[in-house]
Structure 1
Amino acid sequence: MSKILDKAKQWLTATFDTETQQEIQQLIETNSSDLDDRFYKDMEFGTGGMRGIMGAGTNRINKYTLGRATQGLSNYLIENVKKEQLKVVIAYDCRHNSKKFAKTVADVFSANNIKVFLFEDLRATPELSFAVKHLGCDAGIVLTASHNPPEYNGYKVYWADGGQIVPPHDSGIIGNVNTLEFSEIKFNANEDLIEIIGKDVDDAFIEASVKNGKISNQVDRKNLKIVFTSLHGTSIVSVPDALAKAGYTDVHIVEEQREPNGDFPTVKSPNPEEPEALKMATDLANKIDADIVIGTDPDCDRLGVAVRDLDGNMKLMNGNQTMVVMTEFLLKKWKEEGKINGNQFVGSTIVSTELVNQVAASYGVETNVALTGFKWIAKMIRDNPSKDFIGGGEESFGYMVGDFVRDKDAVTATLLACEVAALAKQNGSSFYEELLNIYVRNNFYKEHLISITKKGMDGAAEIQQMLSDMRSNPVLEIDGEKVATLSDYDSSIQKNLITVKETAIDLPKSNVLIYQTENGTRVAARPSGTEPKIKFYFSVNAPLDKIENAEKVEAELDAKIQRIIKEMKLN
């Protein structure tokens, strides 16, 4: 406690403004338990950059933690990118303080003699990724906390290729940041180096999105009835324009959620993975008999897709299902155009469905599987410059079409989902039937995710203990099936629990464990990189002989998942 108090008292010095000093002084005087959580560690970079609760303290998002991150990045750029004029581009979302934080970040860059392109108002994260390459920048920043609760904000760093930072740049930047004192931050802006940008970049981004997302010339786009919700986020400034430019005219926006608002007043969580978040949209879809619902998260990189099932009810697809359908659609198009020649690949992650691997293999295309986080899919493209990247996704509702954007992109993915739905409709099918056909050709795969929240310093320790216990006492049987392999990405070893043979895992180290049974049942566990949670991913599969039996097989797989959850004492 004394160390934390000493650390907190440093924020009472002249380095920090009066408002910050007052906030910390009050916490000290009231002996607030919140002081521990604010100072027990420094804000860290995770799978989605730096993300946390706003407020004063080293473990909070504020002017000083963002300033230090930016100063460290500035130092790294100056040391490692030998250019006369370094350039960065900055975007921000609808969250509280995002605009103010974006200007603070711009000030620090400019004070370090770095040219800054600053968006005039909120913009989608994929547009920031696009803008980095479009404007020839050396780095990019977006101020966002994605789908986290309203009290959060965050800071994502992009490199010159438009992808988020990965080794060696991430550790190099973090090393610079961690050696900095807050007193070393240069906050005095050089306004001559800050240029406000907007429509020109918007137009280029929308044009590129339509070019990549508008896949077929045979689609009757006017016959697809779409409901769209931005969930109070940034996508309202890009998705409707992209849909209109692509030729979709029957688009209905959820008006109550149109206005950007960092409080997200109509939802408990602005996360399109949650059916409750899309309820207003699905209600509207039922009212007007729409074919498809699209909802995006606050910074417009994730999308939720709801479509009509065989009984005509709106059903929210999970991220794995959407990824599989869209990937097969792209592969089929590439095959029809005679472009598959063995030099293509699709991208996925270690906790996403293995069905996408099977679908790609059926077209003679390999699947590159990376760690969780879209920065690793972007790295695949960077590491394979001579190969064609068709598309890629992850279970957490992210998808990327082509490589003009190097992050998950809900703008272009929205267009692709609508292309699938429109083409299926005019062929007497549906988005959902296309998924079921994939299950018939392969197997019916059912995935499920459980997130257990463990807040604060004690919570972080609990999460580590849970993973440690799973390592030291591995599960040998799951729902009556023998566990065949245990993959420990922290030790980079896959162990066959039957033959006891060990195989090296050729991926960067990550705190992830994956059990796989002889029958293909998978259970994965990992701490979230952006929230105080431990996540458990379940994947089961079974043959599906015909579409008419889909409901029965799905119910059996759901029951299997629930048995596993109970067996692992996670409910």
Structure 2
Amino acid sequence: MTKIKFGTDGWRAIIADTYTNDNLKRVALATAQYIKAEGGQAVVLGHDCRFAGSMFADLAARIFADQGLKVYLAQGFVSTPMVSLGVVLQKAFMGVVITASHNPPSYNGYKLKSAYGGPSIPAEVTEVEDRIADEVPATPSTTQAEFVAQGKIEYIDLEKLYVEHCRKAFDIEAINNSFVNLAYDAMYGAGQNVVRQLIPAVTELHCDYNPSFMGQAPEPIHRNLGELSALLAKTPELNAGLANDGDADRIGMYDEEGRFVDSHQILLLLIHYLHKYKGLSGKVVVTFSVTDKVKKLCELYNLDCQVTKIGFKYIAEIMTKEEVLVGGEESGGIAATGHIPERDGIWIGLILLEFMAKTGKTLSQLMDEIYELVGPFAFNRDDLHLNNELKWQIVENCKAGSYSQFGPYKIQKVEDIDGFKFYLRDDAWVMIRPSGTEPVLRVYAQAPTDEEVRQILDATKAALLEG
């Protein structure tokens, strides 16, 4: 049987290749066994907009119920944060989301959520992983409807609970009555229903159900969001853009000119708003690939800043133990105080829309405030699609210290918290890290301008592929 391993954020695989009913049953049974071994009695379960999500959720629900667990099952697609919030509100032991997040449409996946409403910590994931048997368990003969009649599966409206939670936390009326005119790109993902409920006047893009995502991986990065950028650039009455990934836990934003506001800028805006404007404090936790401008802003505001390995689960673990103001990663997964310890693309978007509404300033004007504090910077990332042999050879070269420069850029120092960050100057660096879920090598760079970032990325790619 296929050995099933959980990556940075859950198990993901290609549908009908290794993401099959048989393998899902193995993972679901291992999850149920772990929950029962820990004394848990209930699980919250949902799926996003991916192909066969309902079928896979039905199968997992029946496995859980057959094992004696109470299952709170969402009907229709939901976002990952909705499931995480549901775990807390229902006081369940664990949550499971059938999703492959931002991966290409051929993938599906399986995320684990703990009782605190965030990603399960690595030790818990290992406990489940170690219980995955080689044998395929039998499919329960009891139908979902029969389990419902027995009270073992109960339908839950996670979307309604989430909307009510947002209305309590934000001044939604102020946002809707302000100068803010939002364009929203759901990327055919699970955030679409919630955003149109909270902001009825929103201009929608890709807010319908399409499990193929029109062939595009639903990752909210600039190269995937050309329509949203162009719409803002050519439509003066629109002055903010929001995009979420397939399960709506990641965020991308655009200013009134159609310029991308990336996760580094969003993190800085959040710290600025929550601390400087709202008077809140706490630790700031970011992953290794995030701009070092976050450290600089934290120093200015006398806030503690901690850097973790890549993966939101490391941030979530800290959030369960300490007061964290903002936690986030380069890939658009960001969390903030006052919510569950979970990245949530809609929630973070609402914070920034409220920031605009309360100050009367556009995102570009608010970013100008940030640049006055920490200086200008640019960031970009290339995903090099390589065969695994070459990908891992480059990683070995990095470990061995084989690179002294990339083109004209000489390496001054190296950090290897998770991947390899090569500092080229005080204000410029490039980082190399293999994807944990795809045959991809990610190359990140920061410099003062977009032009130099591009030069660094191109020089690095040439050096990697030469060697």
Relative to the length of structure 2, the TM-score reads 0.91
Q: Check whether the contact 1:452–1:533 (CA below 8 A) recurs between aligned residues.
A: yes
The residue type equivalent to 2:353 in the other structure is: C
Equivalent position of 1:32 in the other structure: none
Whether 1:293 and 2:228 are equivalent positions in the alignment is: no
Instruction: Summarize the Cα distance change of 1:463–1:557 in structure 2 as closer, same or farther, 3 Å threshold.
Output: closer
- Rounded to whole Å, the distance in 1 between the matches of 2:232 and 2:372 is 32
Q: In structure 2, what is the Cα distance between the partners aligned to 1:379 and 1:64?
A: 31
1:233-276: CA deviation from partner (whole Å, max 9, x where unpaired): 111121222335xxxxx42223xx221110123x6332221344
Three-state SS of the structure 2 residue aligned to 1:47 is coil
> Secondary structure, in 3 states, of the residue corresponding to 1:232?
coil
CA distance in 2, matches of 1:183, 1:164: 26
Partners of 1:444 and 1:373 lie apart in 2 by 27
Q: 1:211 to 1:328 in 2, by over 3 A?
A: farther
Gaps of 5+ in 1: 1-6, 8-40, 245-249, 490-509, 542-552
| Residue 119 (structure 1) shift | 0.2
Aligned with 2:191: secondary structure?
helix
CA contact (8 A) 1:331 1:360 kept: no
Letter in 1 for 2:251: L
Whole-Å separation in 2 of the counterparts to 1:318 and 1:130: 25
Structure 1 pair 443–474 and aligned structure 2 pair: CA distance change class (3 A): farther
State which of 497, 516, 524 in structure 1 corresponds to 2:431: 524
Count of residues in correspondence between the two structures: 461
> Matches of residues 81-160 of structure 1 in structure 2 within 5 Å?
81-83=38-40, 86-160=41-115
| TM-superposition CA deviations, 1:433-473 (whole Å, max 9, x none) | 3223322322222222111123xxxx333322210012113
Residue in 1 that maps onto 2:160: 203
With normalisation by structure 1, the TM-score equals 0.75
| 473-482 or 67-76: bigger deviation | 473-482
Deviation >6 Å, runs of 4+:
217-220
Match of 1:259 in 2: 208
Q: Deviations over 1:356-404 (max 9, x none)?
A: 12112211111222211211111111232xxx22222211122222252
Q: Give the match for residue 178 of structure 2.
A: 222
Secondary structure of 1:69 counterpart: helix
Distance in 2 between residues matched to 1:323 and 1:451, nearest whole Å: 22
C-alpha separation between the residues in 2 aligned to 1:205 and 1:442? 35
SS at match of 1:65: helix
User: What SS is found at the alignment partner of 2:423?
Assistant: strand
Stretch deviating more after TM superposition (189-198 or 462-471): 189-198
Other structure's SS at 1:131 match:
helix
* 1:14-37 Cα distance to aligned partner (Å, 9 max, x none): xxxxxxxxxxxxxxxxxxxxxxxx
SS in 2 for 1:162: coil
Q: Sort the Cα spacing of 1:209 and 1:374 in 2 relative to 1 into closer, same or farther, 3 A.
A: farther
The structure whose Rg is larger is: 1
Asked whether the equivalents of residues 446 and 558 of structure 1 are also in contact (C-alpha less than 8 Å), the reply is: no
Q: CA deviation digits over 1:45-71, x for unaligned, max 9?
A: 001101110115xxx111111111111
Percent identity between matched residues is: 22
Give the alignment partner of residue 316 of structure 1, picking from 260, 266, 276: 260
Q: Distance in 2 between matches of 1:197 and 1:218?
A: 30
- Runs of 5+ consecutive residues of structure 2 not aligned to the other structure: none
The amino acid that maps onto 1:404 is: H
* SS of 1:64 mapped into structure 2: helix
Task: Show the counterpart of 2:293.
Answer: 355
> Which residues of 2 match residues 21-420 of structure 1 at below 5 A?
42-56=3-17, 60-79=18-37, 81-83=38-40, 86-177=41-132, 180-184=133-137, 187-189=140-142, 191=147, 192=150, 193-198=152-157, 201-214=158-171, 221-243=177-199, 250-254=201-205, 257-265=206-214, 268-280=216-228, 282-283=230-231, 286-287=234-235, 289-308=237-256, 313-335=257-279, 339-340=280-281, 344-384=282-322, 388-402=323-337, 404-420=339-355
Following the alignment from structure 2 to structure 1, what is the Cα–Cα distance between the partners of residues 155 and 429?
49
Describe the shift of the 1:557–1:102 C-alpha distance in structure 2 as closer, same or farther (beyond 3 A).
closer
Contact 2:356 2:363 in 1 (8 A): yes
Tell me how large the CA RMSD over aligned residues is: 2.6
Task: Tell me if 1:421 matches 2:356.
Answer: yes
